[in-house]
Chain A
């Protein structure tokens, strides 16, 4: 526990990490209404991961981080994006059949449940970016420190 930061930083990180996570989830889920979207929200949530690593140190982050889970979630995000893109394959690739045929997510434009497959794609990209960035950050932080 010698590589964590002081008490003030840790207490503030306890308060700030949920705030950043919730705000990142807001940016991801409102990607079709407000500025931002999958990548920006995912990078914001990954900022919470960076804050966790910096504030609580490498040992604590290594206990919380599961390589296989994050790798699987990153693949799942990519597959969900591709699956949403192939929903309307009977007409064309990336054909927004959820919106055109009023199946789901087909509310009034401007509301949260509108825009067809775009919220699904934003969630998929957000998941992929968050897990990918956290995995890359942990790989860099653990570089040549595996034995300890």
Chain B
């Protein structure tokens, strides 16, 4: 059973993700882009959970959990590089 209201909420998440992509494209400095990517990661996790609910598949939530755990590491690696890397 596909529930349409979850698709509408995923569409709203997608509009927010569009603005964050805009910040990544236009961001004048590198930290702007990093914050944009971090926001986009969180929005994508929310979108994955909503789409998992929309398609009524419990196993899709696993992918959202893995993405939430690994996107955090990606942001951390970029932050470490920007503060001087592995000296």
- Residue numbers of A with Cβ under 8 A of B are 2-3, 5, 9, 16, 19-20, 23, 27, 34-36, 40, 44, 47, 50-51, 53-55, 57-58, 141
Task: Tell me the bound Cα distance from A19 to B69 in angstroms.
Answer: 9
Mark out the residues of chain B between 51 and 87 whose CB falls within 8 Å of any chain A CB in the assembled complex. Answer: 59-60, 62-63, 65-66, 69-70, 72-73, 76-77, 80, 86-87
Of the A-B pairs whose beta carbons lie under 8 Å apart in the complex, a sample of 17, sorted by A's number, is A3-B86, A3-B87, A5-B76, A9-B76, A19-B69, A23-B65, A23-B69, A34-B59, A35-B63, A36-B62, A40-B66, A44-B66, A47-B70, A47-B73, A51-B76, A54-B76, A54-B80
Chain A nearest CB, measured from B51 CB (Å):
14
Are A34 and B62 in touch, CB under 8 angstroms? yes
Residues of B within 8 A of A (CB): 59-60, 62-63, 65-66, 69-70, 72-73, 76-77, 80, 86-87
Within the assembled complex, what's the spacing in Å between the Cα atoms of A2 and B86?
A: 9
Collect the chain A residues with CB atoms within 8 Å of residue B62's CB: 27, 34-36
- Besides A23-B65, A34-B62, A35-B59, 12 more A-B contacts (Cβ < 8 Å) are A19-B69, A20-B69, A35-B62, A36-B66, A40-B66, A47-B73, A53-B86, A54-B73, A54-B77, A55-B76, A57-B86, A58-B86
Shortest A110–chain B CB gap in Å is: 12
Measured between C-beta atoms, what is the minimum distance from A40 to chain B in Å?
8
CB distance from B50 to the nearest CB of A (A): 17
Residues of A within 8 A of B77 (CB): 50, 54
Are A2 and B59 in contact, with the CB atoms below 8 A? no
Question: A2 to B80, Cβ gap below 8 A?
Answer: no
Measured CA separation A53–B70 after assembly (Å)? 14
